[in-house]
């Protein structure tokens, strides 16, 4: 067990070693593959340094070694903080908790969560497909902090093939216009007219039909490809704007969604500037939406990015305010021009019953006003919601009540009309 089969840091097997040695395990009854991954290991490294990060990885290897003896089990570190164990199923179920408890007890000063995904392969199953599935189970609880292990089930397999399809076909989808941009009207209540639009992407796949952004965006974020989509959408919006401008048609300020990851994955501001300059778009015609789910770890980069965009003359909007846990902190730490209130505020809203929802919406609106930010309510579907939002002082609203995302030209054909913009 030398060379490429052995992990230098921990002494466990590498991925290659694991695949090779797993052959001698085939045919044994009742096997289980466990995929372990540490939460926020990247952040841990940033905070405490790589030396301490390496120590943790070595400790995990030792713990695994103690609990799953090497003469009966296969132990590997695949990459970074990904550990894989091939064991028998009885041992798997009993021992996962022990591994986790051990690690916690060694590091009570920091929160270290070691997630585990479990898969029971069939007799002649390829080991690669087995550990992919264990990993999928492990990934599936990344955001669910109430559990620390999870068994693979078939629904995950479908998810895996959709993810694979998205990643394999992304470039093809851009080139062949499978990915398009639609626009949803934003209405100013004081004029009753459309004042802006939000650009939203769609993937119309010949094999799978329409794939919703709710499905492909998390995959693109997970595999760090999201900036490609956002640059594509930005270019398309600028191009659509220029086409109308060249034809002497009415124009509409437009907001584009960015992922906070874009600020790490590329020079997103330069990309925006490129698209804007090439198409001769005044900066005040673009708004940048960023969702509130901002991690502590990317605070500095993102904060600098937001400030730079604002100084350059772009409005920056906070999207989905109220949908996560950290809304108020994000408001405290970043400067936004507009806050978009998440549609969850309005879900199931009943003017006579939802007293609490009303208090929450109106006091948050007041807070936005005090901080000098504009407010916009998303997800307005009914006349009743609209009347209430107007009564407490919202001026901008967006939702199916006025129109679903549509082609840009269709917005200008809406009978409520579009505000005039004065732009060069
Ligand atoms: P979002 O930016 O909060 O956009 C609003 C979403 O709510 C859109 O879903 C829109 O179609 C939907 N919506 C609008 N009004 C109503 C309503 O009255 N009722 C209901 N039930 N839904 C309404 P969509 O287009 O599926 O987009 C989902 C999310 O995907 C967006 O949420 C945004 O975060 C993300 N997204 C879309 N396009 C892009 C993109 O190009 N880049 C990035 N980074 N994210 C994008
Ligand atoms: Mg948005
Ligand atoms: Mg939103």
If you average pLDDT over residues 250-254, what whole number do you get?
Answer: 97
Please give the pLDDT value at position 110. Answer: 76
Interval between CA 306 and ligand 2 midpoint (Å): 16
Contact 396, 226 (CB under 8 A): no
Contact 53, 41 (CB under 8 A): yes
Please give the pLDDT value at position 67. Answer: 94
Residue minimizing CA distance to atom 7 of ligand 1: 379
If you average pLDDT over residues 27-49, what whole number do you get?
Answer: 85
Position 114 pLDDT exceeds 80: yes
Ligand nearest to the CA of 186: 1
Interval between CA 253 and ligand 2 midpoint (Å): 14
> What distance in Å separates the CA atoms of residue 169 and residue 77, rounded to the nearest whole number?
30
Position 4 pLDDT exceeds 90: no
Q: Tens of pLDDT along 115-129?
A: 999 999 988 889 998
Ligand nearest to the CA of 233: 1
Contact 96, 34 (CB under 8 A): yes
Sign of CA dihedral 91, 94, 100, 106: negative
Please give the pLDDT value at position 293. Answer: 67
Residue minimizing CA distance to atom 3 of ligand 1: 320
Position 424 pLDDT exceeds 60: no
Interval between CA 229 and ligand 2 midpoint (Å): 14
Please give the pLDDT value at position 332. Answer: 84
Regarding pTM above 0.85, the answer is no
Ligand 1 nearest atom to the CA of residue 226, by list position: 44
Contact 292, 329 (CB under 8 A): no
Instruction: Enumerate residues 6+ apart whose C-beta is below 8 A from 139.
Output: 37, 117, 222
Position 46 pLDDT exceeds 90: no
Sign of CA dihedral 388, 348, 219, 79: positive
Using 50, 70 and 90 to split pLDDT, how confident is the model at 294? Answer: low
Using 50, 70 and 90 to split pLDDT, how confident is the model at 43? Answer: confident
Position 395 pLDDT exceeds 60: yes
Interval between CA 187 and ligand 2 midpoint (Å): 15
Among all chains, which residue has been given the structure tokens 């990851």? Answer: 261
Position 2 pLDDT exceeds 70: no
Token representation of residue 91: 């041992």
Q: Which residues surround ligand 3, an ion (CB under 5 A)?
A: 319-320, 378
HSE-CB for 237 with a 13 A CA cutoff: 33
> What distance in Å separates the CA atoms of residue 199 and residue 220, rounded to the nearest whole number?
18
Ligand nearest to the CA of 320: 3
Position 423 pLDDT exceeds 80: no
> What distance in Å separates the CA atoms of residue 240 and residue 165, rounded to the nearest whole number?
28
Please give the pLDDT value at position 100. Answer: 87
Please give the pLDDT value at position 333. Answer: 85
Please give the pLDDT value at position 113. Answer: 86
Among all chains, which residue has been given the structure tokens 């804007």? Answer: 276
What are the phi and psi torsion angles at 316 (to 5°)? -120, 125
Give which of 342, 222, 335, 345 is closest to 288, Cα–Cα: 335
Interval between CA 342 and ligand 2 midpoint (Å): 9
Position 292 pLDDT exceeds 80: no
Please give the pLDDT value at position 295. Answer: 63
Residue minimizing CA distance to atom 33 of ligand 1: 257
Interval between CA 13 and ligand 1 midpoint (Å): 44
Please give the pLDDT value at position 12. Answer: 96
Please give the pLDDT value at position 111. Answer: 74
> What distance in Å separates the CA atoms of residue 230 and residue 264, rounded to the nearest whole number?
13
Contact 340, 321 (CB under 8 A): yes
Interval between CA 378 and ligand 2 midpoint (Å): 9
Interval between CA 402 and ligand 3 midpoint (Å): 16
Please give the pLDDT value at position 357. Answer: 79
Using 50, 70 and 90 to split pLDDT, how confident is the model at 420? Answer: very high
Least-confidence region, from 134-143, 202-211, 349-358, 363-372? 349-358
Interval between CA 183 and ligand 2 midpoint (Å): 11
Ligand 1 nearest atom to the CA of residue 232, by list position: 41
β-sheet bridge partners, residue 315: 287
Least-confidence region, from 74-83, 285-294, 331-340? 285-294
Ligand nearest to the CA of 268: 1
Token representation of residue 382: 């009914």
Q: Tens of pLDDT along 50-92?
A: 999 999 999 999 999 999 998 889 999 998 999 999 998 888 8
Q: Tens of pLDDT along 147-177?
A: 889 999 988 888 888 988 999 999 999 999 9
Mean model confidence pLDDT for the chain: 91
Residue minimizing CA distance to atom 45 of ligand 1: 257
pLDDT > 70: percent of the chain: 95
Longest pairwise C-alpha distance within the chain:
77
Residue minimizing CA distance to atom 15 of ligand 1: 399
Task: Name every protein residue with a CB atom under 6 angstroms from any ligand 1 atom.
Answer: 184, 200-201, 212-214, 217, 226, 229-230, 233, 257-259, 289, 291, 319-320, 343, 378-381, 398-400, 405
From 173, 178, 200, 323, the mutation candidate for ligand 1 (largest count of ligand atoms within 8 A of CB) is 200
């Amino acid at each position: 067990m030398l060379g490429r089969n052995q992990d230098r840091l921990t002494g466990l097997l590498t991925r290659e070693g694991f695949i090779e040695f797993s052959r001698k395990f085939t045919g044994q009854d009742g096997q289980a593959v466990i995929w372990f991954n540490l939460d926020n290991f990247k952040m841990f490294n940033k905070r405490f340094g790589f030396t301490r990060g390496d120590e943790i990885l070595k400790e995990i290897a030792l713990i695994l070694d103690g609990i799953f003896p090497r003469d009966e089990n296969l132990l590997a570190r695949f990459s970074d903080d990904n550990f894989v164990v091939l064991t028998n199923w009885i041992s798997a179920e009993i021992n996962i908790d022990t591994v986790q408890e051990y690690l916690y007890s060694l590091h009570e000063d920091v929160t270290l969560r070691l997630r585990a995904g479990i898969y029971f392969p069939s007799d002649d199953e390829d080991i690669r497909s087995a550990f992919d599935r264990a990993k999928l189970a492990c990934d599936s609880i990344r955001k669910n902090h109430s559990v620390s292990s999870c068994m693979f089930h078939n629904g995950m397999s479908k998810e895996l093939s959709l993810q694979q399809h998205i990643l394999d076909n992304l470039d093809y989808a851009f080139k062949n216009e499978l990915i398009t941009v639609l626009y949803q009207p934003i209405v100013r209540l004081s004029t009753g007219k459309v004042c802006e639009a939000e650009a939203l992407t769609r993937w119309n796949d010949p094999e799978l039909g329409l794939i919703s952004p709710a499905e492909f965006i998390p995959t693109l974020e997970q595999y760090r490809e999201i900036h490609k989509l956002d640059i594509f959408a930005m270019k398309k919006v600028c191009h659509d704007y220029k086409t109308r401008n060249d034809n002497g048609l009415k124009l509409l300020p437009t907001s584009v969604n960015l992922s906070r990851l874009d600020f790490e994955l590329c020079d997103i501001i330069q990309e925006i500037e490129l698209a804007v300059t090439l198409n001769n778009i005044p900066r005040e015609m673009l708004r940048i939406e960023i969702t509130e789910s901002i991690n502590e770890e990317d605070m500095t980069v993102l904060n600098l990015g937001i400030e730079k965009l604002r100084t350059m003359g772009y409005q920056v909007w906070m999207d989905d305010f109220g949908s996560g846990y950290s809304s108020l902190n994000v408001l405290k730490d970043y400067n936004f021009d507009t806050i978009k209130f998440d549609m969850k505020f309005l879900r199931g809203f009943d003017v006579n019953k939802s007293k609490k929802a009303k208090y929450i919406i109106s006091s948050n609106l007041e807070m936005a006003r005090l901080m000098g930010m504009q407010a916009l309510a998303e997800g307005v579907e009914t006349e009743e919601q609209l009347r209430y939002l107007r009564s407490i002082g919202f001026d901008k609203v967006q939702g199916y009540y006025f129109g679903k995302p549509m082609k840009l030209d269709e917005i200008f054909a809406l009978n409520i009309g579009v505000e005039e913009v004065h732009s060069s």
